């Protein structure tokens, strides 16, 4: 009988322990589930905050960014230093700190986001540049200036250029002119582009012999353009005939026959979502494909389907 009671007590004790363990596991599972939900909400909140930061700053729009590297004239790569210290241009290899997300803003400027989730700041030229800003303000906006091929200069809001300082000291944004130290190779950005209209056809320069059209079903030499980033934050398009696209100030169909870049040959590249862009001329009007049924113009006051063009890679 004594053994019976002892066995019963042992059985009850085991049952109590099992119930306790099950309860603990259940509580832990609920806690982990709650933590997972909180993490998901935090990620969504952070993503929303980043979006709001970019779009709220002067209503700047953006697209999914290019991930780029910047290589200085000294053949070394720019590093964010993970935001812990001023940026340098002295790395011999590409790691996480040497990669940046390039956002194209609707005002024609760009912003650079480091691997640490912070933005590059010019510090207005009064100190070495850093990669520690949580939001995009004037000091975190740059004009991307073409200097030939895949080489670019970055002009800060203070009107000065970023310098690699040849890798010998922290980088600055205080140069008044572009020299070798102010040029960076960005191989990920396309220099030769094409424009595809909402009608699924490609824009053609017509080799400069007549008004441009958006009616080509395939890409040939006349459908390729060199994209040139200007120091004003605008862009110019040079056709395969080595002439520039002109808005003709909206008074007549656009052409690709100019030998030099003037006001009519400058455009603001406006992101309209993803790889889709609109081109705004110096007259404040937008380029229209005219749906491919007639020569292209630059006289639209608003962006509709005909004023949107796919430009892959930007």
DSSP bridge pairs for 246: 255
Domain ranges within the chain, ordered by starting residue: 2-58, 66-185, 192-310
Q: Is the pLDDT of residue 146 over 80?
A: yes
The pLDDT-based confidence of 13 (bands split at 50, 70, 90) is low
Question: Residue 107's pLDDT is what?
Answer: 82
Residues with Cβ within 8 Å of residue 231, at least 6 apart in sequence:
143, 145, 155
The pLDDT-based confidence of 189 (bands split at 50, 70, 90) is confident
Question: Residue 307's pLDDT is what?
Answer: 98
Q: HEC string of 32-89?
A: HHHHHHHHHHHHHHHHHHHHHHHHHHHHCCCCCCEEECCEECCCCEEECHHHCCCCEE
The pLDDT-based confidence of 225 (bands split at 50, 70, 90) is very high
Tokens of 267: 């455009």
Distance CA 91, CA 98 (A): 8
Q: What is the mean pLDDT of the segment spanning 210-214?
A: 98
Q: What is the pLDDT of residues 36-69, one digit of tens each?
A: 444 333 333 333 333 333 333 333 444 446 789 9
Distance CA 46, CA 156 (A): 27
User: Comparing C-alpha atoms, which of 136, 40, 120 is closest to residue 82?
Assistant: 120
Tokens of 86: 């001023």
User: Comparing C-alpha atoms, which of 182, 178, 58, 68 is closest to residue 129?
Assistant: 182
Distance CA 112, CA 67 (A): 9
**pLDDT, averaged across the chain:** 85
Fold that domain 66-185 belongs to in CATH: Trefoil (Acidic Fibroblast Growth Factor, subunit A) (2.80.10)
| CATH of span 192-310 | 2.80.10.50
pTM over 0.75: no
Q: Helix, strand, coil: what percent of the chain each, to 5?
A: 30, 30, 40
Q: What is the pLDDT of residues 67-121, one digit of tens each?
A: 899 999 999 999 999 999 999 999 999 999 999 999 888 788 899 999 999 999 9
Question: Residue 275's pLDDT is what?
Answer: 87
The pLDDT-based confidence of 267 (bands split at 50, 70, 90) is very high
């Amino acid at each position: 009988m004594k053994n019976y009671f002892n066995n019963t007590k042992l059985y009850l004790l085991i049952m109590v322990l099992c119930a306790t363990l099950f309860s603990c596991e259940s509580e832990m599972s609920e806690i982990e589930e709650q933590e997972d939900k909180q993490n998901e909400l935090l990620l969504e909140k952070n993503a929303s905050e980043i979006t709001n930061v970019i779009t709220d700053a002067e209503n700047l729009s953006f697209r999914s960014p290019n991930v780029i590297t910047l290589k200085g004239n000294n053949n070394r790569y720019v590093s964010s230093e993970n935001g812990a210290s001023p940026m340098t241009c002295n790395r011999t290899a590409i790691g996480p700190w040497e990669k940046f997300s390039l956002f194209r803003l609707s005002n024609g400027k760009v912003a650079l986001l480091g691997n640490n989730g912070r933005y590059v700041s010019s510090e207005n030229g009064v100190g070495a540049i850093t990669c520690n800003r949580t939001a995009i303000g004037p000091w975190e906006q740059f004009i991307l200036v073409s200097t030939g091929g895949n080489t670019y200069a970055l002009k800060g809001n203070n009107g000065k250029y970023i310098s690699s300082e040849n890798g010998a000291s922290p980088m600055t944004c205080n140069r008044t002119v572009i020299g070798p130290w102010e040029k960076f190779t960005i191989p990920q950005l396309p220099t030769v582009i094409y424009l595809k209209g909402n009608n699924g056809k490609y824009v053609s320069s017509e080799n400069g012999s007549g008004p441009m059209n958006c009616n080509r079903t395939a890409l040939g030499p006349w459908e390729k353009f060199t994209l040139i980033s200007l120091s004003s934050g605008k862009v110019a398009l040079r056709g395969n005939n080595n002439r520039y696209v002109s808005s003709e100030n909206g008074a007549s169909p656009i052409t690709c026959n100019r030998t030099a870049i003037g006001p009519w040959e400058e455009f603001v590249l406006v992101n309209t979502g993803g790889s889709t862009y609109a081109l705004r001329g110096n007259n404040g009007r937008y380029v229209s494909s005219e749906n491919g049924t007639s020569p292209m113009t630059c006289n639209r006051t608003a962006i509709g389907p005909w004023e949107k063009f796919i430009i892959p890679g930007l």
